[in-house]
Structure 1
């Protein structure tokens, strides 16, 4: 369940910024129909930074309820407070959540030993499978391969989402980690190369609007058919880049609204709506590759 194309799900909101349950159900149904491997609820793309604690828990539990056991749900439970991350993990014990995604503590910039002790404490507090999440350009700290290797020995730390975009990390991790440990890309632009070098899948932003295409690409990759995987990826290569012209999830929310998957592209401050110039560029590419027509035919 933690391989292939997984989606870092956006959190749909109405015009007032409140969670839109109807759009959330629409998104979940879309991913079930298009065979996305798993949904990650309330990660970076799900705007965890601007949801309060009650909303954070509610969105994850609502996602779990609406999925109705038809697709695995992974909960974003990371925090820059070890105690808060432990509390979030405990909230989802025995809930039906398939696992948790834990980002490195942001802003307070812990040492490698601090990172190890942080994730060790979380691991010891729960039976839920844990996926580490390293995205240094957002958090201000980097979970290095040697620290990841130490953490991989803990009972329920099963993998890492690596969003560094540094493909050399894969060989470093494979040399250091002996057991079966999942290597998951968090960078849409380099994910297929990541898979070719030995990765297991992607937690994708692009999959929010191109679920069928991403499933196809990464199913080919899991089968070792990189010739066809690259042929399919070529069709959405530019889209993968355009979705990051402004900070995520601004462009992907606008694109999801343009395609009718959600009712508004509302984001919360300090995020702001997509610039008009970028709307035009993104719209042209979506129309050029026929994504709207394909979506209607497959949803």
Structure 2
């Protein structure tokens, strides 16, 4: 089971020639751990998932598995998604034999599978990984929208712990009404419009801004969940962070901020970051 209400969706570090910088990625995770963060998502969001080939994803998994301190004290979730199901299956099989905490199961972009095809894809990968799974629905980027009915069917699998970016208010309510369990969670992808999302059922956060100010963002979200008062000073701090991250492309901004702080995150893979 994945128990943390917040995980940080970390960007992938690249060298100047856009090749994978595994150690740069892990160094950033170690820095977050040093700041008290206990859950991260690797290769699962930030728009970079589909730029990584299977070999690069395997390299990240191998490197994370060797980090004893992180493995023993953090929830490390790995994104699994591919335009080819066979490659997603191969990655899932590899993750099965590791001590990584879970997977975030994404859907292939562009090809727009049917709901039946997506269910077969999902069940196969979940079975092969045998890890707690967050479903990742992102129709704005993939063109595919996992239906409420499909989410409810997958929620019948013990390994499926929740869904990220499930959809609008009415869809969330439909899913909630059809669930046969209380331990199913709704993850918001990033902090934009988060207060509204929490008001109609989102109860966990896949954080982007937390890469920059993890404590500020995590504490703010936890207070929101508990309906506790946020002080004016805390509100101003959070708004400052969001202004830095979300004015333009969030991943480009996060990398630029981290690079200025001395982290070796590099740039995004072009065309992201052109200009």
- Note whether the superposition's TM-score is higher than 0.5: yes
Q: Describe the SS at the equivalent of 2:269.
A: coil
In 1, distance between residues paired with 2:71 and 2:129?
23
How many pairs align?
Answer: 271
| Residue 52 (str. 1) matches residue 66 (str. 2) | no
* The one of 222, 235, 238 aligned to 2:237: 235
Q: Distance in 2 between matches of 1:92 and 1:229?
A: 42
Moved over 6 A (4+): none
* 2:95/2:129 contact within 8 Å kept: no
Q: Once the two structures are superposed, what CA deviation does each residue of 1:248-292 show, in whole Å capped at 9, x if it has no partner?
A: 5222211221233x235322123235x5xxxxxxxxxxxxxxxxx
Choose which of 122, 133, 138 in structure 2 pairs with 1:135: 138
What is the correspondence of 1:116-155 to structure 2 with a 5 Å cutoff?
116-155=119-158
Q: Match of 2:21?
A: 20
- What TM-score do the two structures reach when normalised by structure 2? 0.87
The alignment's C-alpha RMSD in Å is 2.5
CA shift for structure 1 position 133:
0.1
Contact 1:13-1:20 at 8 Å conserved across structures: yes
Aligned equivalents of 2:188, 2:54: Cα separation in 1: 27
Query: 1:178 — aligned with what?
Result: 180
**1:60, 1:246 → 2: CA distance?**
30
- CA change 1:191–1:65 in 2 (3 A) is farther
8 Å CA contact 1:35–1:215 kept in 2: the answer is no
State which of 113, 118, 127 in structure 1 corresponds to 2:116. 113
Distance across 1 between alignment mates of 2:237 and 2:113: 40
Indicate the residue corresponding to 2:201 in structure 1.
198
Name the structure 1 match of 2:252.
Answer: 250
Is this contact kept in 2: 1:196–1:221, CA < 8 A? no
Q: CA deviation at 1:235?
A: 3.0
- Extract unaligned runs of 5+ from structure 2: none
Checking the alignment, whether the CA contact within 8 Å between 1:3 and 1:202 is kept in structure 2 is no
Measure the CA separation in 1 of the matches of 2:66 and 2:50.
Answer: 23
- Give the 3-state SS of the residue equivalent to 1:178 in structure 2: coil
Q: Deviations over 1:139-187 (max 9, x none)?
A: 01111212111111123222111165x3443323211212121211113
CA distance in 1, matches of 2:11, 2:241: 17
Q: 1:69 aligns with which of 51, 62, 72?
A: 72
Which stretches in structure 1 are left out of the alignment for 5+ residues? 276-299
Task: Compare 133-142 and 11-20 and name the one that shifted more.
Answer: 11-20
Compared CA separation, residues 54 and 139, structure 1 to 2 (3 A): same
Q: Distance in 2 between matches of 1:79 and 1:233?
A: 38
Structure 1 range deviating more: 100-109 or 42-51: 42-51
